[in-house]
Structure 1
């Protein structure tokens, strides 16, 4: 996909946060966003009709570039699609209500990278942290440059670090709601493997993600998500060795836990 070279101004980012009953974590997410050095962004919050104090916490942290839509939805990916529909920036990314940016220049790094119109998107690295002790690193998700066929080997970028131009969504579609736990993986697969958008890997940690999200909170969900990924690969016409897929997944995850100790040095 050829990037649009007509606009050379600094990119405006639409940052989308979806949440539901997130009173335990949403304040950390908002502080992380408000601390960003790059200011040419809008923050769109899509709330699923929270019944705890989430809405009150959001109301207590007003910002000129922040707007919120609250009401029932069909789940996280439907909420993300709502956010995309409201986005006015030319770059779109997500930061969930239990995630935080690794540093105050995370968005600045994304913006500087995508000032280069040769790229349609970018992504970085991610560190998983303890749900209660966010200074305790559990897994280090070190990504790499995309290579064709990677998704069939169990690879994908960390979605919370994934930023693409709004034109990519307009051309190739939003999240496919048939996938309840793997719509983010399917979307990145569709963009990278099928549409072959041009992306670049940023070799640094951009986001801290708490353990315990929908896809990694238990073995059942992890298994179900990966079965959905295999279904998505088949739907897109990719031939996959299931044994290679699962073996690569296991090796990759084991490596992420080993990288935890090394990341103590890399993240200083």
Structure 2
């Protein structure tokens, strides 16, 4: 184990330093209060060994409160859907970034985390991965166990944080759009309209009328894109419901994997 101490710009700057210091070929990121199920590392290493072209691998993600598993973060990526499903997942869903392992070659190819994003740098990284034509593999074995608590940054409902999140999404959409294929440009334009619309509503509730009007105007500028984004978001929500019905019953209340 190697401990790196010193000031960081933000958490993603610290993650970049970890990548630079890592000596292995496969890299994962684990928060201090999270854990891997015992079989996870072995299963992931076996998959990378058997699939040399694999650059990114997602394992299941479980939610834990105290000592009990209370839920599972589901994605259509887990179910082997196509590349469009991955784009929708990363734009509108909850990618559960810490449930991924990456081959070092991926960082050489698409770069490190962009520290300009305080909150959404992990989503930006995954979107850049897709933009480079790299699709993640999915593994049914093992699990990343996410500790759910009141101060959780990932699942927080704090309004100020959500607004900052949405603003970073607008920056990401603008920056990525110039370097992707036309089909992905369309998806990014729709996502940008959706996030601007959401931002405008939240700013309006806070009484920031000028900023709300500017955000809303950005969202409504392309009404077709916004309408299609709303449909995509609704479609993803429905897909989540179907996934929740398709997984084995009894996840909630299970004990942590032994």
Deviation, 1:229, is: 3.1
Counterparts of 1:7-156 in structure 2, within 5 Å, are 66-101=1-36, 103-115=37-49, 116-130=51-65, 133-137=66-70, 139-143=71-75, 144=77, 145=80, 147-149=82-84, 150-152=86-88, 154-155=92-93
Q: 1:161 aligns with which of 83, 88, 99?
A: 99
Counterpart position of 2:143: 206
Q: How does 1:181-192 map to 2 (within 5 A)?
A: 181-191=119-129
TM-score (norm 2): 0.66
Tell me the equivalent position of 2:174.
234
**Unmatched runs of 5 consecutive residues or more in structure 2:** 178-187, 195-229
Sort the Cα spacing of 1:129 and 1:78 in 2 relative to 1 into closer, same or farther, 3 A: same
- What is the TM-score when the length of structure 1 is the normalising length? 0.63
| Cα-Cα RMSD | 3.0
Distance 2:82 2:94 in 1: 10
- Distance change (3 Å), C-alpha of 1:213 and 1:128: same
Of Structure 1 and Structure 2, the greater strand share is in: 1
Q: 1:108 to 1:205 in 2, by over 3 A?
A: closer
Deviation of residue 198 (structure 1)? 4.1
Which is higher, the Rg of structure 1 or of structure 2?
A: 2
Query: Could you say which structure has the higher helix fraction?
Result: 2
- Where relative contact order (Cα < 8 A, 6+ residues apart) is larger, the structure is 2
Task: Flag structure 1 segments of 5+ consecutive residues without an equivalent.
Answer: 1-65
The Cα of 1:142 is off from its aligned counterpart by 2.1
Cα distance between partner residues in 1 of 2:81 and 2:168: 21
Aligned length: 198
Using the TM superposition, give the Cα deviation of residue 197 of structure 1 relative to its aligned residue in structure 2, in angstroms: 1.8
Q: How far apart are the structure 1 equivalents of 2:7 and 2:44?
A: 31
Q: Residue 113 of structure 2 corresponds to which residue in structure 1?
A: 175
1:222 offset after TM fit, Å?
A: 3.9
- Name the CA distance, whole Å, in 2 between partners of 1:180 and 1:262: 36
Secondary structure of 1:78 counterpart: helix
